[in-house]
Amino acid sequence: MSVHSGKFATVNGEPTVGAWSINDDSDTKAYRASNTKGGTDRRPGITSWSGSFERFSGLPIVMPGTSFSFLGYEAPDSDVSGGTGQTYSGTALVDSIALTWNWQGGDLLKLVTNFSGHLALITAAAQAAVADNTASDARGIVEVTPPTVQVNGAGGQVAWPNVAQISLTISAANQPYVNSSTAGGTGRKPGNIDWTLTATEQEVLRTLFNKGDIVDLKLFIDATTFWILKFGLVKGFTNIRHDRDTGAIISRNVQIDMKAFDAAGVVGQIRLPGASSDFWP
């Protein structure tokens, strides 16, 4: 078999995939004994697998804590589009998604989905090509409305100005397990949901919020479609940098962490762009 380009690679059900990867791993159990002649022998241990795929999009197809059937197609053996080739497949559980808005770089929205396998990973040769399932849903940052924020439940949503970049990570603390029924593989069950957000601001005055404030956010993926995140707790401000040497624009990083309730005990929410119901709770 010759080497192949990654230009044909696809993932089932996922449009606008820029790249995908797989880690197929196992533990080994080492021992030294009277018959190993001073060397180390090893036996197979627990197996596990994980992976990720990157999409040019602001809208996830699968969310943390959600199980899905992963099928990744590598390349046609013939190097001709549409030909049969090798695939990886198995049941997977999403660990986290990471979405980046980069106004400073003018980038496309980019969403990374990280997952771990439940039990066996299957490799198969001479499999039919996996087609991309829809037209492109890529978004350039210039098409995206700036974020808005409400602070401590007062004043309604207002513009969050001078933001250079936002990185949002939503995760699930999925629980691995191994027992006599897993045949040496690693099983997984969904865990608790959390999110964190880091923003780089070029706004030196704390005019919107301070440490300890409770915020709810709208993060847009186009002019009318947005994420809703209720509630977040402002954790702090870091790397407030003043560079006399270069005269660079003053900036700082803001970290906001998920808070399940506001000050009055109202339950928060995570709602996907365009969705009619909440992902959480």
Q: Please report the pLDDT score of residue 157 as a whole number.
A: 96
Residue tagged 């943390």 (tokens): 64
Give a yes or no: residue 31 inside a domain: no
Q: Please report the pLDDT score of residue 205 as a whole number.
A: 75
Residue tagged 């409770």 (tokens): 214
Give a yes or no: residue 173 inside a domain: yes
Q: Please report the pLDDT score of residue 1 as a whole number.
A: 54
Instruction: Evaluate whether 136 touches 56 at the Cβ level (below 8 Å).
Output: yes
The widest CA-to-CA distance across the chain, in whole angstroms, is: 76
Q: Using CA atoms, how far apart are residues 158 and 181, in angstroms rounded to an integer?
A: 54
Give a yes or no: residue 33 inside a domain: no
Flag whether the pTM goes above 0.85: yes
Give a yes or no: residue 73 inside a domain: yes
Query: Which of 228, 216, 234, 196 has the alpha carbon at shortest distance from 97?
Result: 196
Instruction: Evaluate whether 110 touches 98 at the Cβ level (below 8 Å).
Output: no
Residue tagged 């990973």 (tokens): 121
Over its length of 281 residues, how does the chain's per-residue pLDDT go in tens digits? Answer: 589 999 999 999 899 999 999 999 999 999 999 999 999 999 999 999 999 999 999 999 999 999 999 999 999 999 998 899 999 999 999 999 999 999 999 999 999 999 999 999 999 999 999 988 667 888 889 889 999 999 999 999 999 999 999 999 999 999 999 999 999 999 999 999 999 999 999 987 777 999 999 999 999 998 899 999 999 999 999 999 899 999 999 999 999 999 999 999 999 999 999 999 999 99
Number of folded domains in the chain?
Answer: 1
Q: Determine the residue type at 92.
A: A
Q: Please report the pLDDT score of residue 125 as a whole number.
A: 95
Ordered DSSP codes for the chain: -----GGG-EETT-SSEEEEEEEEEEEEEEE--TTTTTS-EEEEEEEEEEEEEEES-SS-SS-TT-EEEEEEEEEETTSSTT--EEEEEEEEEEEEEEEEEETTTTPBPEEEEEEEE-S--EEEEEEPPPPP-SS----BGGGSPPPEEEETTEEEEEE--SEEEEEEEEEE--EEE--TTTTT--EEE---EEEEEEEEE---S--S--TT-EEEEEEESSSS-EEEEEEEEEEEEEEEE--TTT-PPPEEEEEEEE-SB-TT--B-EEE-TT-SS-SB-
Q: Please report the pLDDT score of residue 206 as a whole number.
A: 77
Q: Determine the residue type at 185.
A: G
- Residue 114 structural domain: 6-25+43-271
Q: Please report the pLDDT score of residue 207 as a whole number.
A: 78
